[in-house]
Amino acid sequence: MIYQKMAIPPRSEHLWRYTPWPRIHPSSTDEVPEVDDVTFSLSTEHELESISHSATTHEDIARAFLQSAGGSNNRLIISEESEPIHIDARASGHVAVGHLHLDVKASCVVLIHLIGEPEWVGIHITGKVHPNVQFSFGFINELDSNTKFLRCEDWIVERDAELEHATLSIGGFRCKSDLRSTLNGTGSTIRQSVTANAVGPRHDDEHVEIHHLHGHTNSDLVMNSACSGSSHFIATGLLTIAEGANKTDASQVFRNLLLSEKARAEAIPELEVLADDVSAAHGAATAPVDKNQMHYLMSRGLSPDESQSLIVSGFLLNAFSNLSNKYLTEEMKTRLTVHLECELKR
Amino acid sequence: MSDETQEIIGDYRYGFHDPENSTIRFDKGLSEQVVRDISELKDEPEWMTEIRVKAFRHFTERVMPEWGNCDLLNMIDFENITYFLRSSDQTEKSWDDVPDDIKNTFDRLGIPEAEQKWLGGVTAQYESEAVYHSIREDLEEQGVIFLDMDSGLKQYPELVKKYFGTVIPHSDNKFSALNTAVWSGGSFLYIPKGVSVEMPVQAYFRINAKNMGQFERTLIIADEGSTVHYVEGCTAPSYSTDSLHSAVVELIAMEGAKIRYSTVQNWSSNVYNLVTKRAVAHKNATVEWVDGNIGSKLTMKYPSVLLKGEGAHAEVISVAYAGKGQHQDTGAKVHHLASNTTSNILSKSISKDGGRSSYRGLLQVTPKSTGCRSKVVCDALILDGGSRSDTYPTMEIGNSTSDLEHEASVSKVSSDQLFYLMSRGFTEDEAMGLIVNGFFEPFTRELPMEYAVELNKLLELEMEGSIG
């Protein structure tokens, strides 16, 4: 559907309950502003192919808006195994939008690092992981603390393929992510982790959907957030298992650590199961920092801030424990550790 | 009995119906005049008529819920429902005085026998109004008021006016508006300060007529330091056309009071069961919802507790069984509005023969409610292909001093457990029945013994032929 003809989604939809569309839109909801490109530059010799915007229409308002807005549109085809690919995504101007399609035909690691200081940034990433391919993908959001950020992703994982997907969300003032994956073939697997450090007045809304269309598919989602200041973290998940998708194993775990009186966290892990021979589970927990752990660390000579930072670090790093690709895990952990150390020094 | 009706009834043992002998029956359909007529017929005070009319206007203006099973919800034909049907001219105090056909129904349901053995009081509602009501003398002497709601309004208008609609206002949702507009029957229970009602009091709701709407209104007030256990049972005959049960239940637990509200709802599979149940728990009060949902076409019921006073506690244990053509959309909501409040929610569901069970819950801790603790556990079993189980939990945490956990799992019956029981000589059906009864055991152990036995029997019936 064309964006201008779409109705604003009601807040009764969980996806828009805590970050309604008008709050994430760059201006007035009936407008599609002029945008600058988000530029992507690669660390390897792979070539980014610039492609024209397709006429595909989206039912989802965020995707339809990003399509209407335009911006850069690139495709990366990975047809041979290669060293890890680092992509620097740089946003500039007032409002910036970028589209990237990844066609993954060979096993590899891709890491996107998003930086910039525009008032508003929108990114739409789509990807297809071909049969038998093991693909690891990391996304680091390190935008300026005054930037509004909208991110949509759509992944298709084919037969016997594996997608490892890691997100580190530490930038932006108000962020809305809508990450959807479809396990489209028998034996396909997705392991996904989302780590967010919400500081100050930051608002971070992370929505993850995983759809099991076939049997013998696996998914494992872990979302960890630490919220301080007057920040607000929202984790919503939708895990669906289609009729006949037997022998599916799916789990999602949401954990929130609340560090200040005004910090808030919401967790909505949803399950829709239409097959009978499956194992599906979810868990959610929200709690303050354990006083015993604080006491233990402080009795070893650490200051209260250092103790808390160490606990937060351990908690957030743990979100990557379900990933098996060492390179991806180490990169994400390093970036998080640097970020937390900078936060401690402020 | 037509083949169509027989097909709907299946194993449903309460699917029988009696010839309809109503003394007053309104025409089908809903209008402001119907609402005013119900109020006039009951000779209600003007303030109640005004509330009814206001609620009716809200009902007509409010759209149907845009969430849940909208396909089934939108099939409700509000113009094809009878909103008031009186079966007996008065509420009797002795079973001997209840009209024979109605008494036979309750005899078949075992209510008079249960009353003699283990109940402190009984209200039996048939269609729109109570036909029988009694309370043990010793409770009456202690000041316990247990009446059907219509009598409660007549005899204690000030008490009813003070609390009616304070927990669930008519504007809460479309079906609470409908109930407030056309309510009839239900229970009014008041427990004075410090009184402990040791034997449960029970209400039994029976729909007999076709295309009937039952809209009972229950208000329970437990004054400071009192305790009460209220038990509610529901059945209806099986027809090929649909009936609507839309109740509103308001509980108020004052400081240090304890209310346990147990329900075993076993409507036939042609009944829409759209119920709003909510409680307020003041300082150090406890409210427990023990909620069993076996029948109905579509149930939407989320017992809620507003923990308003410091130290208040909520406990919700619910089970749902969704069989062929059924959708059990149930759950629980707990709002931690005061500090150091605690809650536990345990939900279990089984889906079989294409049935769908959904858990929909909300756990909210407001920013000023410090030191709250809560645990939510949802377990679901799917017994065959084509059945469905959903979980839609919401946790909204507004401060950093609270500790909340949620866990849920969906699985099938373990083949190891089946194998173990069958190696001990049980048939597959028996083994499956045992496992399912065990799965529901945390719920049944909270019920009075007679109800627990009955529920186990019902489940065994439902589980027959579940293998292969």
Q: How far is it, in rounded angstroms, from Cα A108 to Cα A134?
A: 7
For residue B10, pLDDT beyond 60: no
Evaluate if residue B92 carries a pLDDT over 80.
Answer: no
| Integer angstrom CA distances of residue A102 from B239, B337, B397 | 57, 48, 37
In one letter, which amino acid is B444? T
Q: Flag whether pLDDT at B20 surpasses 80.
A: no
Q: What percent of chain B lies above the pLDDT cut of 90?
A: 49
User: How many angstroms separate the CA of residue A262 from the nearest CA in chain B?
Assistant: 6
State residue B102's pLDDT score: 66
- Residues of chain B in contact with residue A275, where contact means CB-CB under 8 angstroms, are 382, 385
Cα–Cα dist A265/A270, whole Å: 16
From B136's Cα to the closest Cα of chain A, the distance in A is 47
- Residue B211 is predicted with a pLDDT of 72
Q: Which candidate, B435, B383, B384, B374, places its Cα nearest to that of B405?
A: B374
Report the pLDDT value the prediction gives residue B466, as an integer from 0 to 100.
Answer: 45
pLDDT digits (tens, 9 = 90+) for B47-89: 999 999 999 999 999 999 988 899 999 999 999 888 988 766 6
For residues A297-310, average pLDDT: 92
Task: Give the C-alpha distances (Å, rounded to integers) separating B448 from B81, B139, B257.
Answer: 34, 19, 20
Express each pLDDT in B111-152 by its tens digit.
666 665 666 677 777 766 676 677 777 788 889 998 889 889
Does B236 score more than 80 pLDDT? no
B395/A267 Cβ within 8 A: yes
**What torsion do the CA atoms of B454, B459, B460, B461 make, to the nearest 10 degrees?**
90
Whether A294 has its CB under 8 Å from any CB of chain B: the answer is: no
* Alpha-carbon distance A31 to nearest alpha carbon in chain B (angstroms): 27
For residue A333, CA distances in Å to A87, A138, A141, B12, B127 come to: 17, 11, 14, 59, 65
Distances (CA, A) of B253 to B202, B261, B306, B373, B375: 18, 12, 10, 20, 22
Supply the DSSP symbol for B292. Answer: E
| Residues B440/B453, Cβ–Cβ less than 8 Å | no
Q: Quote the DSSP letter at residue B212.
A: B
Task: Give the β-pairing of A148-157 and A120-129.
Answer: parallel
**And the tokens for A221?**
């989602």
Exposure string of A297-317, with b = 16+ CB inside 10 Å and e = fewer, is beeeeeeeeebbbbbbbebbb
Residue A84 per-residue DSSP state: P
Residue A5 has a pLDDT of 85
- Token pair for A169: 């969300």
Nearest alpha-carbon partner for A256 in A306, A222, A298: A222
**Rounded mean pLDDT, A52-58:** 75
Instruction: Say yes or no for a CB contact (<8 Å) between B390 and A264.
Output: no
Give the pLDDT mean for A171-175.
95
Q: Quick one: closest CA in A to B356, which residue?
A: A274
Q: What integer best gives the mean pLDDT of chain A?
A: 93
A269 vs B contacts (CB less than 8 Å): 391, 393, 406, 408
Per the CB < 8 A criterion, the answer to whether A150 and A66 are in contact is: yes
- Would you say B199 and B119 are in contact if contact means Cβ atoms under 8 Å apart? yes
Which candidate from A243, A256, A261 shows the least CB-CB separation from B386?
A: A243
**Confidence at residue A118, expressed as pLDDT on a 0 to 100 scale:** 95
Q: What percent of chain A has pLDDT over 90?
A: 82
Partner B contacted by A22 (CB < 8 A): no
Q: A238 contacts in B (CB within 8 Å)?
A: none
CB-based contact B404 A286, cutoff 8 Å: yes
**What does the alpha-carbon distance between residue A139 and residue A133 come to, in Å, rounded to a whole number?**
19
How far apart (Å, rounded) are the C-alpha atoms in residues B263 and B451? 10
- Residue of B64, B376, B409, B410 for testing the chain A interface, max A β-carbons within 10 Å: B410
Per DSSP bridges, beta strands A264-273 and B388-397 are antiparallel
- What burial class does residue B371 get, using C-beta atoms within 10 Å of its C-beta: 0-12 exposed, 13-18 middle, 19+ buried? middle
Q: Is the pLDDT of residue B11 over 60?
A: no
- Alpha carbon distance B105, B110 (integer Å): 9
Distance CA A286, CA B365 (A): 11
Rg of chain B (C-alpha set): 21
Buried/exposed B264-277: b ≥16 CB within 10 Å, e otherwise:
bbbbbbbbbbbbbb
Q: Does A244 touch chain B (CB under 8 A)?
A: yes
Taking CB atoms and an 8 Å limit, are A12 and B67 in contact across chains?
yes
pLDDT at B109: 63
Burial B119-153, CB ≥16 within 10 A → b, else e: bbbbbbbbbbbbbbbbbbeebeeeebbbbbbbbbb
Residue B12, number of CB atoms within 10 A of its CB: 23
Task: List the single range of A135-144, A163-172, B205-214 with lowest mean pLDDT.
Answer: B205-214
Tens digit of pLDDT for each residue in B342-361? 999 999 999 988 999 999 99
* CA quadruple B97, B99, B100, B105: dihedral, nearest 10: -110
| Residue B408 identity (one-letter amino acid) | A
pLDDT, averaged across chain B: 85
The answer to whether B410 contacts A280, with C-beta atoms less than 8 Å apart, is: yes
Q: Where are the domains of chain B?
A: 1-282, 302-412, 413-468
Q: What is d(CA B464, CA A15) in angstroms, rounded to the nearest whole number?
A: 41
Q: What is the rounded CA–CA span in Å between residue B418 and residue B415?
A: 5
Interface touch A274/B388, C-beta < 8 Å: yes
Q: Does A260 touch chain B (CB under 8 A)?
A: yes
Token pair in block for residue A73:
């549109």
10 Å CB burial of residue A278 (0-12, 13-18, 19+) is buried
Single-letter amino acid, residue A58: H
Question: What distance in Å separates residue B440's CA from the closest CA in chain A?
Answer: 19
Report the half-sphere exposure of B40 (CA within 13 A, side-chain side). Answer: 6
Phi, psi angle pair for B89, to nearest 5°: -75, -20
Q: What percent of chain A shows pLDDT beyond 70?
A: 99
Cα of B120 vs its chain's centroid, Å: 20
- Write down the pLDDT at residue B205: 77
What one-letter code names the amino acid at A36?
D
Q: Which residue stretches of chain A are H helix? A: 14-17, 21-24, 61-69, 291-299, 304-317, 326-345
pLDDT value at B12 more than 60: no
CB contact under 8 A, B411 and A280: yes
What is the DSSP annotation of B242-264?
Answer: -EEE--EEEEEE-TT-EEEEEEE
A262 — contact with chain B (CB < 8 Å)? yes
- Residue B438's pLDDT band (boundaries 50, 70, 90)? confident
Chain B residue numbers with beta carbons less than 8 Å from the beta carbon of A264 are 367, 396-399
Q: For chain A, what is the total number of helices (H) and then of strands (E)?
A: 6, 18
Give pLDDT, residue B462: 62
Name the residue facing A244 among B385, B402, B408 (closest C-beta): B385
The shortest C-alpha distance from A109 to chain B (Å) reads 32
The band of B199, judged by pLDDT with boundaries at 50, 70 and 90, is: confident
- Would you place residue B468 in the very low, low, confident or very high pLDDT band (cuts 50, 70, 90)? very low
In chain B, residues with a C-beta closer than 8 Å to the C-beta of A207 are: none
- In the 8-state DSSP scheme, what is residue B324? T
Q: How confident is the model at residue B29 (pLDDT cuts 50, 70, 90)?
A: confident
Q: Do B401 and A288 touch (CB under 8 A)?
A: yes
Token pair recorded at residue A326? 């060492």
Query: Mutating which of B173, B395, B413 best tests the A interface, going by the most A Cβ atoms within 10 A?
Result: B395
User: Cα–Cα distance between B316 and B318 in angstroms, integer?
Assistant: 6
Mean pLDDT of B377-400: 90
The better pLDDT of the pair A305, A129 is held by A129
Residue range A201-243, pLDDT digits in tens:
999 999 999 999 999 999 999 999 999 999 999 999 999 999 9
Residue B4 banded pLDDT, cuts 50, 70, 90: very low
The pLDDT value recorded for residue B241 is 67
Q: What is the mean pLDDT of residues B143-169?
A: 93
B413 contacts B437 by C-beta, under 8 angstroms? no
Q: How far apart are the CA of B386 and the nearest CA of chain A, in angstroms?
A: 6
Task: Give me A117's structure tokens.
Answer: 């200081």
B15 confidence band (pLDDT: 50, 70, 90) = low
Q: Which residue of B has its CA nearest to A279?
A: B411
Residues 6+ apart with CB under 8 A from B15: B5, B8, B9, B237, B238, B268
Q: How far apart are CA B391 and CA B43, in angstroms?
A: 45
For chain A, the straight-line distance linking the first and the last C-alpha, in angstroms and rounded, comes to: 46
Q: How far is CA B110 from CA B114, B116, B152, B458, in A?
A: 6, 11, 26, 15
Task: Look at residue B237 in the predicted model and tell me its pLDDT.
Answer: 60
Spatial distance between the Cα atoms of B343 and B345, rounded to a whole number of angstroms = 7
* Banded pLDDT at A11 (limits 50, 70, 90): confident
Q: Answer yes or no: is pLDDT of B467 > 70.
A: no
For tokens 């967790």, the residue is A267
Q: What distance in Å separates the CA atoms of residue B214 and residue B442, rounded to the nearest whole number?
A: 30
CB contact under 8 A, A286 and B411: no
pTM metric for this prediction: 0.85
pLDDT of residue B164: 96
The shortest C-alpha distance from A105 to chain B (Å) reads 34
pLDDT at A342: 86
Using alpha carbons only, how large is chain A's radius of gyration in Å?
20
Give Cβ neighbours of residue B457 (< 8 Å, ≥ 6 apart): none
Residue B221 · residue B192 · CB < 8 Å:
no
CB nearest B408 (choices: A277, A282, A285): A282
How many residues appear in chain B?
468
Q: State residue A2's pLDDT score.
A: 82
Beta bridge partners of B228: B259
> Does residue B214 carry a pLDDT above 60?
yes
Predicted local distance difference test score (pLDDT) of residue B8: 43
